[in-house]
Amino acid sequence: MTGNLQAIGFMLTWVLGWGIGGSLIDAGLINAGVYSLEGGQLGTAATFSLWSLLWGGGGVWLYRRWTQPVPPDR
């Protein structure tokens, strides 16, 4: 059961981190004047795509690192 709870906690944290992180990056870029919501959603779409690739790549890396089989002791 502990493994299941850890997996559920990790997934909840992962989704919240992705959503909140993407929103903060998007809001920061809009506030800095990099792009505006009035000119279409191209900037938001680019931010969403890049953040999703970065966050997803980090998740794949963590998954592979944490699920490596432990080498047997000699």
Best CA proximity match to 11, nearest among 39, 26, 19: 19
8 A C-beta contact, residue 29 and residue 47: yes
Comparing 2-6, 21-25, 46-50, 52-56, the range with the smallest average pLDDT is 2-6
What is the pLDDT confidence band of residue 74, given thresholds at 50, 70 and 90? low
**Residue range 28-70, pLDDT digits in tens:** 988 998 888 887 788 888 889 999 999 999 888 887 887 777 7
DSSP string, 24-71: HHHHHHHHTTS--GGG-SHHHHHHHHHHHHHHHHHHHHHHHHHTPPPP
